[in-house]
Amino acid sequence: MPCVTNMMILRTTTSSLCDSSSKISNVNRFLPLSAFRATATMGVMWSRNASGKSSVSGFSSKVKGSEPIKHTSTYVHNQHAKEIVIEEEEVVVMSETDSSFESIPGVPNPLGVSKTENGINFSLFSKHATSVTLCLSLQDSGNDASPNDEMIELKLDPHVNKTGDIWHICVLELPLRNVVYGYKINGPQGFHEGHRFDNTVVLIDPYAKLIQGRKIFGDVKNKFSKFYGTYDFSSLPFDWGDNYTPPNIPEKDLVVYEMNVRAFTADKSSGVEENLRGSYLGIIEKIPHLLELGINAVELLPVFEFDEFEFQRRPNPRDHMINTWGYSTINFFSPMTRYASGGGGPIAARLEFKQMVKALHLAGIEVILDVVYNHTNEADDKYPYTTSFRGIDNKVYYMVDGNGELLNFSGCGNTLNCNHPVVMELILDSLRHWVIEYHVDGFRFDLASVLCRGTDGSPVDAPPLIRAIAKDSILSRCKIIAEPWDCGGLYLVGKFPNWDRWAEWNGIYRDDMRRFIKGDTGMKGAFATRIAGSADLYKVNQRKPYHGVNFVIAHDGFTLYDLVSYNFKHNDANGEGGNDGSNDNLSWNCGHEGETSDANIKSLRFRQMKNFHMALMVSQGVPMMLMGDEYGHTRYGNNNSYGHDTTLNHFQWGQLDARKNDCFRFFAEVIKFRQKYRVFRQEYFIGKKEITWHEDNWNNYESRFIAFTLHDDDEGDIYLAFNAHDYFVQVPIPSPPLQRRWFRVVDTNLESPNDMVPEGVVGIGDTYNVAPYSSILLQAKP
């Protein structure tokens, strides 16, 4: 997720809530709703009849003998409200054939929208609300609903439409699709008690399965468009195919490719049709690239609905930015609408996400989602962006302190109250939804240490949510990966509560590998420990080497090319005066800051990139690499590029073509070599039987050379050496096993294609002269 300047626990300050100055200029502008066959353009009123059903007047035949009475009706325009008073007699002048819009109390479960025999049931949790109003809008035709200028309001009766803390209503004869909806909610106004109710805002249902808003990513004309829930009960079930099965790849065999859906094909150089660029379907077009690279799992940056224009809602130093990473969730159930092709809308997004998953699965590639349950888009109290949870029940959904102020362990203004029973169930339901409905294979939890905090923000030894995810029957087949830290200082690498199920991003691996390969002293022992699977961190109880996800590069921070090209971050384009992003990158520019024409420096940089990749792929545990590193993508030193929908983040397919025969070739061949030989993918932690360290000088602080042999009687031994000195090291090569001889497979000092020869090159003598800042891999073969 994007880095923040202040990493301490933050509390937001109070300010005025959302502007409610928007007014309706003409109450008679209410659009006719063909689904109800209404002919008048008058108001909507809530009433009860003798049968116990409720109806919305204004769409019904005249009631014989009824007394003229006044009813209050509220029209909603641009998520703000204005009350008007009309007479019953004004309504009944409508045609006698107009149909009735009726409802029954409905049921509390399931939460969200569901189809019943009688109609469409709406159910919403709010413990502290004193009034709840369902807002509906329909469109005449088309595949996707979109809000009209006004919405129909149905105020729920707490004596009839409430069970415990759940508000519910079943609306009869509603269409099965083409409806958008939301809620207006009122409640206590005690700010210092943690409440943030504002009944002028139409709020998104936390359990909405689809979200309607702007349809085109980055569409400036609709920058301030609102977001609503919608549903679809009329589409046929998705055809996964009779012979379809998920890949079910063992964790020890994974090679993870962290990537961004939009950035992967958004650039014209992708060659993808314009309407497919930056979409779920765009990924399908590029599956051949993923297969050629050799990875077998993609870890998608957030694909839950988010607002890419959230930085532009008010003047601020970041108001030129577009959120392209997506770490700012609006809703936890809906796929990002604007990743649908050609502005297809939410129903198309749902379909195309499934098509993407199916295509990846058929190619043998698993789908892991980067999920953000630590905070939402609703920001802080100074500049709130109220769209859902804040206005529904802030005190339940967010952590607040004793003064009712938001706690901020996420660095983004709020912290989801993950271990509150209601919020915990929401998260579990969301995860199950993505597994059952979309067939995803696993999840990487952003700032997962937040999920280890109690409702007061204090750390919990056995967090209920973490345990529930580990033990859940539906989630049992999934990969579950924690980013084991947060912005409040809760660093849990190697100590994350796990129940022998949770894996972790190994941040210590990243730091130790960077320091050793760039030539820091005193790192040889740490490097060896990381290569061997980080037993110091994960050899506890029944944990395995694959519970550590090894990485050198991830989405936040430098790319691999920038890691070897910049000593300092260059984040001026972000508008925060260089105060964002990490200052401690453990990088080395190889002698010049940024771009250079010096051939020696460029050669050294490429060698270092190969060293990092090789170390990653021969380490025990699960390797993860970043999209674009296979060709040397640069962000020109920007280590926090979350807000740039440009070439800074977009995959550059032309550059890939230019590096296809050197950088890409090396990366792909090393990945495939790892996949071919089990010696790199051990189920259990390795010991003396599996590895020999050719080292008798562990305590030499200045030593930056290490060599070892991985043993496998069937497939053949593998000898590896890493030299982080700035001079050649002539190293003795151990004798190969009987009836075998050494073949050189990798020498990162050589130029392509000799730097990686999968079948190996014969002629290895008793010694090998390992070049400065290089690594070698030898294989014992008959």
Helix/strand number for the chain, H first, E second:
15, 32
pLDDT of residue 288: 98
Residue range 476-520, pLDDT digits in tens: 889 999 999 999 999 999 999 999 999 999 999 999 999 999 999
Q: Choosing from 446, 630, 645, 747, which is the catalytic residue? A: 446
8 confidence band (pLDDT: 50, 70, 90)? very low
147 confidence band (pLDDT: 50, 70, 90)? low
What is the residue whose two structure tokens read 């569409």? Answer: 219
774 confidence band (pLDDT: 50, 70, 90)? very high
Q: What is the 3-state secondary structure (H, E, C) of 528-552?
A: HHHHCCCHHHHCCCCCCHHHEEEEC
| Residues 734/719, Cβ–Cβ less than 8 Å | yes
Does the pLDDT at position 64 exceed 60? Answer: no
Kindly write down the DSSP assignment for every residue of 368-433, as one continuous string. EEEE--S--TT--SSS---SSHHHHHHHHHB-B-TTSPBEESSSSS--B-TTSHHHHHHHHHHHHH
pLDDT of residue 696: 86
Does the pLDDT at position 22 exceed 90? Answer: no
Find the mean pLDDT for residues 154-158: 97
Does the annotation count 483 as an active-site position? yes
Does the pLDDT at position 607 exceed 80? Answer: yes
Does the pLDDT at position 106 exceed 50? Answer: yes
Axis-axis angle for helices 421-436, 389-397 (nearest 10): 120
| Residues 165/126, Cβ–Cβ less than 8 Å | yes
E strands, 552-699, are: 622-626, 691-693
pLDDT of residue 476: 85
Phi and psi at 83, nearest 5°, equal -90, 145
Give the pair of three-digit tokens for residue 505: 């991003």
Find the mean pLDDT for residues 454-465: 97
Q: Choosing from 483, 486, 747, 755, which is the catalytic residue? A: 483
What is the residue-averaged pLDDT of the chain?
Answer: 88
> Which secondary-structure segment (H or E) carries 484?
none
Rounded Cα distance between 697 and 705, Å, is 10
Does the pLDDT at position 598 exceed 70? Answer: yes
Does the pLDDT at position 578 exceed 80? Answer: yes
pLDDT of residue 292: 98
Residue range 211-263, pLDDT digits in tens: 999 999 999 999 999 999 999 999 999 999 998 999 999 999 999 999 999 99
Between 140-144, 463-467, 541-545, 759-763, the lowest mean confidence (pLDDT) is in 140-144
What percentage of residues in the chain have a pLDDT greater than 70? 86
Neighbouring C-beta atoms of residue 26, cutoff 10 Å: 7
Between 70-79, 328-337, 740-749, the lowest mean confidence (pLDDT) is in 70-79
150 confidence band (pLDDT: 50, 70, 90)? confident
Between 58-72, 93-107, 303-317, the lowest mean confidence (pLDDT) is in 58-72
Residue range 747-757, pLDDT digits in tens: 999 999 999 99
Torsion angle, alpha carbons of 87, 93, 95, 96, to 10 = 80
Query: Bigger pLDDT: 139 or 669?
Result: 669
pLDDT of residue 139: 72
Kindly write down the DSSP assignment for every residue of 204-266, as one continuous string. PPTT-SEEES--STT-GGGTT---EEE--SSSPPP---TT-------GGG--EEEE-HHHHH-
Does the pLDDT at position 30 exceed 50? Answer: no
Does the pLDDT at position 16 exceed 80? Answer: no
Give the pair of three-digit tokens for residue 428: 């579990």
149 confidence band (pLDDT: 50, 70, 90)? low
Rounded Cα distance between 456 and 453, Å, is 8
Q: Which of 209, 123, 207, 114 is nearest to 163 (CA)?
A: 123
Find the mean pLDDT for residues 716-737: 97
What percentage of residues in the chain have a pLDDT greater than 90? 84
2 confidence band (pLDDT: 50, 70, 90)? low
Does the pLDDT at position 42 exceed 90? Answer: no
CA distances, 543 to each of 57, 241, 497, 560, 746 (Å): 63, 36, 11, 30, 32
Does the pLDDT at position 419 exceed 70? Answer: yes
697 confidence band (pLDDT: 50, 70, 90)? confident
Q: Is 573 left (phi over 0), alpha (psi -120 to 50) or beta?
A: alpha
Instruction: Tell me the β-bridge partners of 747.
Output: 776
Find the mean pLDDT for residues 355-366: 98
For β-strands 70-77 and 166-172, DSSP reports them as: unpaired
Residue range 271-330, pLDDT digits in tens: 999 999 999 999 999 999 999 999 999 999 999 999 999 999 999 999 999 999 999 999
| Residues 634/589, Cβ–Cβ less than 8 Å | no
What is the Cα gyration radius of the chain? 29
* Stated pTM of the model: 0.88
Sort 721 into a burial class: Cβ within 10 Å, 0-12 / 13-18 / 19+. Answer: buried
Between 12-26, 220-234, 606-620, the lowest mean confidence (pLDDT) is in 12-26
Does the pLDDT at position 92 exceed 50? Answer: no
Does the pLDDT at position 84 exceed 60? Answer: no
Neighbouring C-beta atoms of residue 777, cutoff 10 Å: 22
pLDDT of residue 530: 98
Does the pLDDT at position 7 exceed 90? Answer: no
pLDDT of residue 23: 28
Does the annotation count 89 as an active-site position? no
